């Protein structure tokens, strides 16, 4: 399996599969957030009883963390290798080749996402699962209330929106690129997977943003 | 109507592979818009020789878009601002009176500059030698119709075979990746029964050689496809990925 490290296509496949895995996780996470709009109690039940500090939730968290670490590590390796392959001398007449903006800025978009993820982990995950796990006092079990508190601050909502706009651009290129990398593309499917990528990116990002804004404006726990 | 135009050309001059290069600016008067870009460079070189200076070195051969020798990065585009043509097919019609035209060599770690605008593209030959062929046992020539090939496959193979190996894909790519070239060469064989026999070996060896020679990782920006003078589609890259993965999983 050394080709997953030594070969350019192998490295791209790792980047692709880790990215697709993170997309699946985000879809699940987004669906769970939508519950906040309807009922806080159900949300807390899902967060504490179904997930919480149960072994499966811990294993899940570790797998996701592994996915994130691999994706970032490979992203850095790919970017550095590609800069080297470009050579030391840069073009004086800068490239006029039309290309999708996001495809040229995947690393920077990734950094935007990373900063956002760190903020998010500190604000939510650290207060709940982490503190519970390591028996640090003040672990929160009222997840929905915690979310409502955080989202009542405007700057948090704005930070979330910026993070998800970055993610949207990352995914509009990332989704079809990932399928292309594992070979699932041809002249017919090219248009389809690009459209599908735009739909998936929009559903994910809009879902997260809508929940953040709804909670901020008080349109949450509607059936509570 | 074609006019005579006055232009300024900014040309990359570099004495040798290890030497530091720089831009020189030259004025050219009364260049017919009906002349080709390379004829314009010929006129420039004549002018330089008459002034007792060293002419500009650039690659060219057939001058009709089939050999893949010409290789200039002109005003931000490999093969210049026109669509789907090589540098030798570019006309001065694409430029206006008073324009400044920047002419640079292909830039990528895989294609080091030899002199001025000429780069070393033997890396592509090495990739071909690694597996870009079909081993043929000579004998009687079989009848073409004895091996049925679906029309779609034949067309796709032919489209991939249009690649002339000029290197514009590498020159355009922000990652200095040679994937479009390798994808075209792998595809033209992988689609046909004669090429399928060695398909797995070919994909693995050519990709390994490409990586070894310092070309970058493809991130599907699609710049190669836009600048390719022969319109090679990046869906060939998806096919290369498929062929490569199939070969690796078979191992
Ligand atoms: C939840 C977060 C993320 C998701 C869902 C995600 C998803 C993806 C996907 C699907 C790809 C396409 C893979 C391919 O082209 O084969 C990709 C590529 C990439 N990602 Fe991410 N990513 C995320 C976070 C990050 C972070 C935090 C970084 C870095 C700091 C990053 C850096 C990159 C880079 C450099 C590429 C390669 C560019 C390319 O191949 O076009 N990503 N990502
Ligand atoms: S000189 Fe042969 S393709 Fe341009």
The complex's ipTM works out to 0.93
Interface test with B, best of A85, A88, A183 (most B CBs within 10 A): A85
pLDDT at A141: 86
pLDDT in tens for each of the 224 residues of chain A? 899 999 999 999 999 999 999 999 999 999 999 999 999 999 999 998 888 888 999 999 999 999 999 999 999 999 999 999 999 889 998 889 999 999 999 999 999 999 999 999 999 999 988 998 899 998 888 889 999 999 999 999 999 999 999 999 999 999 999 999 999 999 999 999 999 999 999 999 999 999 999 999 999 999 87
Q: Are A20 and A205 in contact (CB under 8 A)?
A: no
CATH architecture of B121-250: Orthogonal Bundle (1.10)
Cβ–Cβ < 8 Å for B116, B55? no
Q: Which residues contact A42 (CB under 8 A, 6 or more apart)?
A: A35
pLDDT tens across B66-112, in order?
999 999 999 999 999 999 999 999 999 999 999 999 999 999 999 99
Domain ranges, ordered by start, for chain A = 3-87+99-217
The 8-class DSSP code of residue B174 comes to: T
- Ligand closest to the CA atom of residue B179: 1
Q: Do B240 and A9 touch (CB under 8 A)?
A: yes
pTM: 0.94
Show pLDDT as tens, one digit a residue, over chain B (251 residues): 789 999 999 999 999 999 999 999 999 999 999 999 999 999 999 999 999 999 999 999 999 999 999 999 999 999 999 999 999 999 999 999 999 999 999 999 999 999 999 999 999 999 999 999 999 777 788 787 888 999 999 999 999 999 999 999 999 999 999 999 999 999 999 999 989 999 999 999 999 999 999 999 999 999 999 999 999 999 999 999 999 999 999 98
Pairing relationship of beta strands B77-78 and B118-119 according to DSSP bridges: unpaired
Atom number of ligand 2 nearest to Cα B63: 1
How is residue A170 written in tokens?
A: 């990352």
Q: What is the pLDDT of residue B87?
A: 98
Tokens standing for B11?
């040309």
Residue A24 Cα, gap to closest chain B Cα (Å) = 21
Determine the residue of chain B that is closest to A87 in CA distance: B109
- Beta strand spans in B133-225 (E): none
**Partner B, chain A 164-223, Cβ-Cβ below 8 Å:** 173, 176-177, 180-187, 190
Quick one: DSSP state of residue B67? S
- Chain B residues within an 8 Å CB radius of A3: 248
CATH top class, domain B4-104: alpha beta
At residue B113, the pLDDT reads 97
Distance (angstroms) between ligand 1 centre and the Cα of B220 equals 12
CATH 3.10.20.30 domain position(s) in chain B? 4-104
Which ligand is in closest contact with the Cα of A74? 1
Query: What's residue A49's pLDDT?
Result: 87
Residue bearing tokens 């020539």: B141
User: In the prediction, which pLDDT does B127 show?
Assistant: 98
Give the tokens for residue B117.
Answer: 């605008």
pLDDT of residue A105: 96
CA of B89 to the centre of ligand 2 (A): 8
Determine the CATH number of domain A3-87+99-217. Answer: 1.20.1300.10
Integer distance in angstroms from the first to the last C-alpha of chain A? Answer: 52
pLDDT tens digit sequence for B152-172: 999 999 999 999 999 999 999
Report the DSSP beta bridge partners of residue B25.
B10
Residues 6+ apart with CB under 8 A from B34: B2, B91, B92, B93
Beta strands across the sheet bearing B22-32:
B22-32, B4-13, B100-104, B73-74, B77-78
Q: Whole-angstrom Cα distance, residue B62 to residue A189? A: 37
In this structure, are residues B123 and B110 in contact, taking their beta carbons and an 8 Å threshold?
yes
**Could you tell me the two tokens for B241?**
């990925």
Which member of A6, A97, A180 has the closest CB to residue B77? A97
């Amino acid at each position: 399996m050394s080709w997953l490290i030594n070969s350019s296509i192998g490295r791209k496949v790792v980047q692709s599969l880790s990215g697709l895995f993170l997309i699946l996780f985000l879809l699940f996470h987004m669906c769970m957030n939508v519950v906040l709009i309807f009922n806080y109690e159900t949300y807390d039940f899902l967060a504490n009883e179904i997930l919480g500090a149960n072994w499966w939730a811990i294993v899940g968290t570790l797998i996701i963390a592994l996915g994130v670490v691999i994706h970032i590590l490979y992203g850095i390796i790919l970017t550095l290798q590609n800069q080297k392959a470009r050579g030391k001398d840069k073009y004086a007449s800068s490239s006029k080749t039309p290309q999708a903006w996001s495809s040229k800025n995947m690393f920077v978009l990734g950094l935007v996402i990373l900063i956002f993820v760190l903020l998010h982990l500190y604000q939510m995950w650290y207060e709940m699962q982490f503190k519970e796990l390591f028996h640090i006092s003040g672990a929160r079990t009222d997840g929905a209330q915690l979310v409502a508190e955080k989202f009542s601050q405007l700057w948090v909502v704005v930070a979330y929106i910026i993070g998800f706009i970055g993610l949207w651009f990352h995914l509009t290129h990332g989704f079809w690129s990932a399928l292309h990398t594992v070979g699932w593309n041809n002249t017919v499917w090219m248009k389809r997977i690009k459209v599908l990528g735009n739909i998936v990116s929009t559903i994910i990002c809009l879902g997260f943003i809508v929940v953040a804004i709804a909670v901020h404006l008080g349109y949450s726990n509607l059936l509570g | 109507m074609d006019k005579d135009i006055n232009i300024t050309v900014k040309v990359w001059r570099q004495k040798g592979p290890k030497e530091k290069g720089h831009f020189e600016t030259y004025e050219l008067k009364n260049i017919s818009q009906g002349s080709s870009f390379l004829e314009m460079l010929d006129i420039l070189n004549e002018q330089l020789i008459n002034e007792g200076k060293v002419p500009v070195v650039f690659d060219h051969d057939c001058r009709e878009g089939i050999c893949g020798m010409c290789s200039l990065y002109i005003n931000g585009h490999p093969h210049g601002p026109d669509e789907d043509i090589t540098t030798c097919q570019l006309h001065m019609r694409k430029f206006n009176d008073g324009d400044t035209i920047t002419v640079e060599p292909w830039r990528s770690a895989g294609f080091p500059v030899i002199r001025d605008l000429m780069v070393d593209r033997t890396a592509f030959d090495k990739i071909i030698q690694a597996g870009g062929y079909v081993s043929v046992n000579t004998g009687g020539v079989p009848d073409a119709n004895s091996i049925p090939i679906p029309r779609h496959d034949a067309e796709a193979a032919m489209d991939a075979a249009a690649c002339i190996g000029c290197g514009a894909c590498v020159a355009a790519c922000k990652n200095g990746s040679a994937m479009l070239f390798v994808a075209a060469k792998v595809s033209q064989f992988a689609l046909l029964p004669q090429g399928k026999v060695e398909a797995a070996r070919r994909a693995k060896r050519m990709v390994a050689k490409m990586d070894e020679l310092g070309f970058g990782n493809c991130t599907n920006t699609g710049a190669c496809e836009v600048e390719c003078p022969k319109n090679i589609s990046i869906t060939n890259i998806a096919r290369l990925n498929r062929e490569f993965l199939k070969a690796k999983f078979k191992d």
